[in-house]
Amino acid sequence: MPIDPKVALGAELPSRECSWTPSDVQLYHLGLGAGARWTDPAELRYLNDTAPQVLPTFATVAPTLRETEPPRVHFPGIDIELAHVVHGNQEVRVHRPIPAAGKATVTGRIAEIWDKGTAAVIVQETTATGSDGAPLWTARSSIFARGEGGFGGERGPSVKSELPDRAPDYDVTTPTLPQQALLYRLCGDRNPLHSDPEFARAAGFPNPIVHGLCTYGMVCKAATDTALDSDASRVTGFRARFAGVLYPGETIRTRIWRDDDELTIAATVVEREDAAVLGDVKLSFRSE
């Protein structure tokens, strides 16, 4: 049985040590398209050689930076084929700005398992603690496993937020490169869905797709640049639901509504009549 909820729910995940350098941060930001405005001092803050500012979404790749093997969906009570899995949701909350170089211990657990009938949703929660003993970030992510439901569990919540009933405060577009996924995968996500055309077609896609976490980071960066004067240290949290796919070379449209200390965001694909790529997007930030 691929999922045994009695074993899996609440199970502690193996802790892992991770470290990063300014070069790792630069590579991550380049994987998100940083440097497109190569003479803009605000843009170049992401690519400083000694002390680049760090987008909070870097937390999603820091634990896997140097991995070269495809990820495995193998946890206590859970063993699922990678081709059956897509990313569902992602949230990162930073307890302080992530330093340009550092070390952390990452611990986690299986926080929730929902039975959607034809699929299962598995939620992981992880916390990173810096070498000084203070927390750096907390992340929650869910995966949607096709064909793995029907084990008799609870269906779980189904929440969809509504966009504000007014014109957005900002409306920006971000092009992606044809090699966007091939570049981003160097940050440690070697899932062949993003690089191998045959694997992608076997999974039901006409071609490899951009990593959901790449789109996630690109939208966070676009919102930070547009609404927060490119100051990543002001971002305290970012969450999104993966609502669709993005193919390399397509253009992301990011509409942003500002309200006190939170941004509500819609991310769509320009070339496909604004098909949703991220939904339920919220960015929290601190005032200057």
Whole-number Å distance between alpha carbons of 107 and 17 = 9
pLDDT digits (tens, 9 = 90+) for 174-233: 999 999 999 999 999 999 999 999 999 998 999 999 999 999 999 999 999 999 999 999
Are 285 and 228 spatial neighbours (Cβ–Cβ below 8 Å)?
A: yes
- Which of 29, 87, 115, 189 is flagged as catalytic? 189
Specify the pTM.
0.93
pLDDT digits (tens, 9 = 90+) for 250-288: 999 999 999 999 999 999 999 999 999 999 999 999 987
- Which of 24, 29, 115, 194 is flagged as catalytic? 194
pLDDT digits (tens, 9 = 90+) for 24-66: 999 999 999 999 999 999 999 999 999 999 999 999 999 999 8
pLDDT digits (tens, 9 = 90+) for 155-170: 888 777 789 999 999 9
Amino acid at 266: A
Residue range of the domain that includes 194: 5-285
Backbone angles phi, psi at 171, to 5 degrees: -145, 105
Mean pLDDT of 116-131: 93
Catalytic annotation present for 194 = yes
Provide the CATH number for the domain around residue 255: 3.10.129.10
Mean pLDDT of 4-21: 92
Looking at the 3D structure of the chain, how many domains does it have? Answer: 1
Catalytic annotation present for 259 = no
